[in-house]
């Protein structure tokens, strides 16, 4: 690979919470290893290239979510990228719009359909520090370190049969406050679930930006983008990142 192409998707409408920083983290961690990397920004009403190496989608408010979903459904570039196995990181509203449907603007809105999930409304806003233990589902099988971030959402995201949680919550709310009898029996697919993994999509409610707080997750995305195993990436020892991890991961 001569250059890593990182897609920053619709930051003009899904850039409310600083999640653009995830693309910056990927670029910097690649460059620190001597890998040439550039960010390609795709704004609303611009076509989404399906041949980029990795994609980042952030969070936004109701109107922004609706605009983003309508554009991505019409354009289909991100769908083609997912079908080709390109890694996609989706944060908060990004998680919701990549599902089958979500609630925004007082109505149910069709999602892109890359995650088998529906989002309705929480009874109480989920806001504050969030932490989870990775489930190792799908392409996240190599993740071993706890995940941390800051959640701020009113969405209750219920996962269907084709999606798996990214993590099991140890702090904070996670995806939802709803669960059924099967969950009580020990299946935490709804109860204690955080985020979602399906195909090449990794989604989470964690801001931070999440990749700044979770370098192993950032490196997993880089490895997936490069078609190699996580263990094949040269380790990076960054004192400030290690200090942040120590402060935030309890």
Query: What pLDDT score does 182 carry?
Result: 46
- Closest by CA to 18, choosing from 212, 222, 219, is 212
Q: Which of 71, 92, 153, 176 is catalytic?
A: 92
Query: What pLDDT score does 80 carry?
Result: 98
Stated pTM of the model: 0.93
Mapped onto helix, strand or coil, the DSSP state of residue 249 is: coil
Q: DSSP alpha helices (H): ranges in 17-173?
A: 21-31, 62-75, 77-83, 93-97
Active site residue 176: no
Provide the Cα torsion 89, 92, 98, 102; round to 10°.
Answer: 170
Cis? peptide before 209, omega within 30° of 0 = yes
Domains of the chain: 4-248 (3.40.50.880)
Per the structure block, which two tokens stand in for 242? 């290690």
Q: At what angle do helices 21-31 and 215-226 cross, to 10 degrees?
A: 70
Residue 29 in marked binding region = no
Query: What pLDDT score does 179 carry?
Result: 52
Per the structure block, which two tokens stand in for 184? 């009580």
Active site residue 153: no
What percentage of residues in the chain have a pLDDT greater than 70?
94
Q: Which of 71, 153, 176, 207 is catalytic?
A: 207
Return mean pLDDT, the chain: 92
The low-confidence residues of the chain, meaning pLDDT below 70, are 1, 177-189
Query: What pLDDT score does 211 carry?
Result: 97
pLDDT digits (tens, 9 = 90+) for 53-98: 999 999 989 999 999 999 999 999 999 999 999 999 999 999 999 9
Query: What pLDDT score does 230 carry?
Result: 97
Mapped onto helix, strand or coil, the DSSP state of residue 216 is: helix
């Amino acid at each position: 690979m001569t250059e890593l192409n990182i897609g920053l998707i619709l930051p003009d409408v899904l850039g409310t919470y600083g999640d653009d920083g995830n693309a910056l983290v990927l670029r910097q961690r690649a460059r620190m290893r001597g890998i040439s990397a550039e960010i390609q920004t795709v704004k609303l009403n611009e076509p989404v290239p399906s041949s980029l190496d990795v994609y980042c989608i952030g969070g936004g408010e109701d109107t922004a979510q609706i605009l983003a979903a309508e554009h991505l459904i019409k354009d289909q570039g991100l769908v083609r990228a997912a079908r080709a196995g390109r890694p996609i990181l989706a944060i908060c509203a990004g998680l919701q719009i990549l599902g089958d449907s979500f609630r925004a603007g007082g109505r149910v809105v069709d999602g892109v359909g890359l995650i088998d999930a529906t989002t309705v409304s929480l009874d109480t806003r989920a806001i504050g520090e969030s932490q989870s233990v990775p489930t190792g589902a799908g392409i996240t099988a190599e993740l071993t370190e706890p995940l941390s971030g800051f959640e701020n959402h009113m969405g209750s995201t219920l996962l269907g049969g084709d999606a798996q949680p990214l993590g099991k919550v140890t702090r904070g709310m996670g995806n939802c406050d709803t669960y059924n009898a099967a969950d009580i029996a020990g299946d935490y697919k709804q109860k204690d679930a955080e985020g979602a993994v399906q195909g090449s999509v990794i989604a989470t409610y964690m801001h931070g930006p999440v990749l700044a707080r979770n370098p192993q997750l950032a490196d997993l995305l880089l490895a997936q983008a490069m078609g190699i195993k996580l263990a094949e990436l040269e380790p990076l020892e960054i004192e400030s990142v290690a200090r942040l991890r120590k402060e935030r991961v309890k």
